[in-house]
Amino acid sequence: MVKAIILCCENCRDRLCIGCQRCLTAARERKGEFEKFDKVEVVGIVSCGGCPGYVIPKLKLFNKWIEGMEEYDTVFIGKCIVVANDTGNCPYEDVNKIKEMIESTFGKKVVIGTHPW
């Protein structure tokens, strides 16, 4: 079983993608990128920290917040971040850059994308 967090775009969350419901449904029903795993337990949803790009400080804060409570081994980069990268509205410009930063800083598995809708 994978224990995961979903990293979402702070600018999209609750504006264009209400309540991250599509990501949570996809995780529960094993659709989209979640279908690659037998079971996924989402232990948190964390925003990127907003522009101009505060992913690493935000994840450090999240890790401190959950210390001693929940552990996670995988970070799913939300479809909202993927779309923001594709449309040119994300300051990171390349979702692979976000993936590499998270992997090298935290040693977590990173999956690009979440739901198929």
Single out the residue of 19, 16, 18 nearest to residue 84, CA to CA. Answer: 16
How far apart are the C-alpha atoms of 30 and 40, rounded to whole Å?
8
Structure tokens at 81: 């971040």
Indicate the domain borders of the chain. 2-112
Give me the mean pLDDT over the 25-49 stretch. Answer: 96
pLDDT tens track for 20-31:
899 999 999 999
Which class does domain 2-112 fall in?
A: alpha beta
pLDDT tens track for 81-116:
999 888 877 888 899 999 999 999 999 999 999 999
